[in-house]
Amino acid sequence: MSKGKVLVVDDDRSLRQFLSIWLKREGYAVRAAASGRDGLHEMTRDPADVVLTDLTMEGIDGMGVLTGVKEHWPDTEVVMITAYGTTENAVQAMRHGAYDYITKPFNVDELKLVLDKCFEKQAMRTENTALRRLLVDRFGYGSMVGRSAPMAAVYDLMDRVKDTPVSVLVTGESGTGKELVARALHYEGERREAPFRSINCGAIPENLIESELFGYKKGAFTGANKDHPGLFASADGGTLFLDEIGEMPLATQVKVLRALQERKVRPVGGSEEVSVDVRLVAATNRDLPAEVAAGRFREDLYYRLNVVTIALPALRERLGDLPMLVEHFVEKYGEQFGRPGISVGAEALRALAGHTWPGNVRELENAVQRGVALSRGDVVTPDALPPEVVGPAGDVGALPSSVPPEGMDLDGALERYELMLIESALEVSGGVKTEAAKLLRITFRSLRYRLQKIGIEEPPTRG
Ligand SMILES: Nc1ncnc2c1ncn2[C@@H]1O[C@H](COP(=O)(O)OP(=O)(O)OP(=O)(O)O)[C@@H](O)[C@H]1O
Ligand SMILES: [Mg+2]
């Protein structure tokens, strides 16, 4: 196998020949083109990893090759060969994305060094992409855990919007991970180097929210003894997370809308506007369209924020993720409490799988935290779990034998019952699916379908 593909583009025949022979001897797969046009044509035929191009050529010159390559094959590195005295152009080329340049006459050691660095960079990039793919496919997204179908759809949407500037509205019940999504969008996206700022619109007094968001000038009000930039300005280039946006006062909503439309903010007490480039992520567990209908939320702001909505499923809608989440939290708190290696026993896991989780992942996290803290050995037992999780008789308390007065979620209950029985069949069969299917008197295909539906097994299209 060759060390990689190099394309030489040079109108100087002897240099082309020399480079071809030398590169081949060094173990590269080499092709050569005599003009910029031929070079780009060779790339369309079979893209090279590195393009080594002369800068001054008739027709399409080295800069033209560079632009063409970077436009269509951004992962290919371009190295410029320049004549003595034209280094200024070479520096220009590097500003446009060339990896490096070498000056004629060059010695081969110098070229070798540049190529080695090029390929090192590429290897690292490939490895990073592969690793990220693996992490995303296997465990979730950023620090988000879960691989059920509804979560896979969430990750997919996040992946598509993370590098765009569009506003994102994250909805979902309390504790479903809305803040986690906001952070992941920032830290997995192209704004990750810039600041992430957040504000909880429900937790801050109405008269403070505007100075927090837009900043203030010295002397704007009593106590304002120096200028304060505000969240919009300090998140410049990054992301601003408006948590519990449904709680934002109507008067502030108008100003936020203006800031979004004009990309400018005016500090309280200031006369000048400041330009800001901020990506907005907002979250709410309220029904915003209903708030709009009731006149409590501005319709125009709603449409501005809601360019993309990421709706998080409730935990009861993705119970297949429960074992993985439990494992994640047990590891987290095991480490935090100085008890590495602690695990959740089968009985406790069954109790956890039987609960309806009105508080979603946060409730689960708290339950496991308590379990780890209160268990004596290195196995978490049901008695260490919160009583409302285990149920009165330590059975699967969330599966009632009659309909409670407040009503119930039949599909959810049936799904939990199904999950519980499938898990116990898999336990008996030692994880052998054909055996488990036999025990449940269903076909292997039907078992696989059910496992996919509850998110324990990946559907055939993913992974
Ligand atoms: N998919 C997930 N993987 C791992 N941890 C999660 C996941 N979803 C939520 N959590 C954890 O659960 C807790 C609650 O999550 P988060 O604060 O993001 O929820 P929220 O939707 O913002 O809730 P609220 O509406 O109450 O503010 C956090 O500790 C978070 O780390
Ligand atoms: Mg939150």
**Which atom of ligand 1 is found nearest the CA of 321?**
1
Binding-site residues, ligand 1, Cβ < 6 A:
144-146, 172, 174-180, 285, 328, 361-362, 365
- Choosing from 296, 313, 330, the residue where a domain stops is 313
In a domain, 135, yes or no: no
Instruction: Look at residues 37, 45, 46, 44 and name the one whose alpha carbon lies nearest to residue 9.
Output: 37
Is residue 458 one of the residues assigned to a domain? no
Neighbouring CB atoms inside 10 A of 84's CB total 8
Ligand nearest to the CA of 154: 1
The answer on 355 and 286 residing in a single domain is no
Among 92, 108, 130, identify where a domain stops: 130
Establish if 94 belongs to a structural domain.
yes
Measured from the Cα of 176, ligand 1's closest atom is 21
Q: Tell me which long-range contacts 210-216 makes (C-beta under 8 A, separation of at least 24).
A: 210/252, 210/255, 210/268, 211/268, 213/252, 213/255, 213/256, 213/259, 213/265, 214/255, 214/259, 214/265, 214/266, 214/267, 214/268, 215/265, 215/267, 215/268, 215/270, 215/274, 216/267, 216/268, 216/269, 216/270
Q: Which amino acid is at 190?
A: E
Residue 152 and residue 228 share a domain: yes
Distance 426 CA to ligand 2 centre (A): 36
Is there a single domain that holds both residue 292 and residue 327? no
Q: Is residue 54, in this structure, part of any structural domain at all?
A: yes
Instruction: State which H helix or E strand residue 288 sits in.
Output: helix 288-293
Residue 134, pLDDT score: 55
| pLDDT at residue number 350 | 85
- Among the atoms of ligand 1, which is closest to the Cα of residue 365? 12
Residue 100 domain-assigned (yes or no) = yes
Q: How far apart are CA 331 and CA 378, in angstroms?
A: 12
Q: Which mutation among 136, 169, 180, 199 tests ligand 1's pocket best, with the greatest number of atoms within 8 A of CB?
A: 180
Q: Among residues 313, 346, 365, which one ends one of the domains?
A: 313
- If asked whether residues 53 and 169 sit together in one domain, one would say no
Shared-domain flag, residues 208 and 246: yes
Residues 277 and 324 in one domain: no
pLDDT tens-place string over residues 336-365: 888 888 999 888 888 898 888 999 999 999
Paired with 145 in beta bridges are 140
- Return the number of other C-beta atoms located less than 10 Å from residue 8's C-beta: 26
Is there a single domain that holds both residue 221 and residue 301?
Answer: yes
What tokens were used for 125?
Answer: 């990039």
Residue 136: inside a domain, yes or no? no
Q: Whose CA is nearest to atom 30 of ligand 1?
A: 177
pLDDT less than 70: residues of the chain: 1, 129-140, 391-401, 454-463
Nearest CA to ligand 1 atom 12: 362
Give me the number of domains the chain comprises: 3
In this structure, are 150 and 243 located in the same domain? Answer: yes
In a domain, 268, yes or no: yes
CA distances from 333 to 209, 346, 386 (A): 35, 18, 16
Closest CA to ligand 1's atom 26 = 174
The reported pLDDT for the residue numbered 34 is 95
CATH code at position 68: 3.40.50.2300
Q: Is the dihedral angle over the CA atoms 211, 216, 220, 226 positive or is it negative?
A: positive
Fill in the amino acid letter for 391.
G
243's enclosing H/E stretch is strand 239-243
Cis peptide before 105 (omega within 30 of 0): yes
Q: Which domain holds residue 226?
A: 142-313
Neighbours of 125 (CB within 10 A): 12
- Whole-angstrom distance, CA of residue 43 vs CA of residue 75: 12
- Say whether both 279 and 378 belong to one domain: no
Q: How far is the CA of 175 from the centre of ligand 2 (A)?
A: 7
Does 187 fall in a domain? Answer: yes
- 269 and 205, same domain (yes or no): yes
Residue 74 CA to ligand 2 center (angstroms) comes to 38
CATH number where 171 lies: 3.40.50.300
CA of 155 to the centre of ligand 1 (A): 15
Same domain, 123 and 265: no
**Per-residue pLDDT tens digits for 198-212:** 999 988 888 889 999
The domain that holds 444 is classified in CATH as 1.10.8.60
CA of 200 to the centre of ligand 1 (A): 15
**180 and 115 in a common domain:** no
